[in-house]
Chains A and B, each alone.
Chain A
Amino acid sequence: MADIGAMAPEVVCLQGVCKSYGVGTPREVEVLHGIDLVLRRGEFCALIGPSGSGKSTMLNLIGLLDRPTAGTLFIEGHDTRRLDDAALTRLRGRSIGFVFQHHHLIGAFTAAENIMMPLLLDRSRPDAAMRRSAERLLDRVGLLPWKDSRVGNLSGGQQQRVAIARALAMSPALVLADEPTGNLDTKSADGVFDLLREMNRESRTTFLIVTHDPRLAQRCDRIVEVVDGRIVADGAVEEFRRIARS
Chain B
Amino acid sequence: MRSWLPFEWIAAIRFLRDGWMQTIFILAGVSMGVAVIVFMSALLTGLQANFLSRVLSAQAHLVLLPPDEVARPLRAAEGLVQDAVVQRPSQRIRSIDQWQTLLRQMQAMPQVAEATPVASGGALAMRGEASRSITLTGVEPEGYFRIVRLPDSIVAGQPRLTSEDIVIGTDLASEIGVGVGDKLRVTTATGRDATLTVTGLFDLGNRGVNERSTFVALRTAQSLLGLTGGVTSLQITVRDPYAAETVAQLAQGMTGIRADSWIRTNLQFFTAVNAQQTSNTVIRLSVGLSVALGIASVLVVSVVQRSREIGILRAMGARRGQILRVFLIQGGVLGLLGALIGSAAGAGALVAWHASVRQADGSQLFPLIIQPQLFVIAAVLAAVTGVLAAMAPALRAARLDPVVAIRG
Contact = CB atoms under 8 A, between A and B. Distances in A.
A104 B408 CA distance: 11
Given A107-B18, A108-B17, A108-B18, A125 B7 contact: yes
B318 to A, nearest CB: 5
Interface string B301-320: 00000001101111111111
A165 interface: no
Contacts of A108: 11, 14-15, 17-18
A239 interface: no
Contact of A107 (B309, B311, B313, B403): B309
Contacts of B17: 108
Interface stretch (A6-14, A110-118, A180-188): A110-118
Contact of A121 (B4, B311, B317): B317
Interface residues of B, number: 29
Contact of B406 (A89, A100, A125): A100
B316 A93 contact: yes
A100 B402 CA distance: 13
B330 to A, nearest CB: 12
9 contacts: A92-B317, A94-B317, A98-B315, A104-B312, A107-B309, A113-B1, A116-B1, A117-B313, A126-B3
A54 interface: no
Interface in B1-60: 1-7, 10-11, 14-15, 17-18
B322 interface: yes
B403 A65 contact: yes
B316 A98 contact: yes
Contact of B315 (A65, A113, A126): A65
Interface in B124-144: none
Given A106-B309, A107-B309, A113-B1, A92 B18 contact: no
B18 A89 contact: no
Contacts of A125: 3-7
A118 B317 contact: yes
A124 interface: yes
A120 interface: yes
B6 A124 contact: yes
B159 to A, nearest CB: 69
A60 B317 contact: no
A51 to B, nearest CB: 14
A122 interface: yes
B314 A89 contact: yes
A61 B312 CA distance: 15
A74 interface: no
Interface string A150-194: 000000000000000010001000000000000000000000000
Nearest to B314: A89
Contacts of B309: 104, 106-107
A116 B1 CA distance: 10
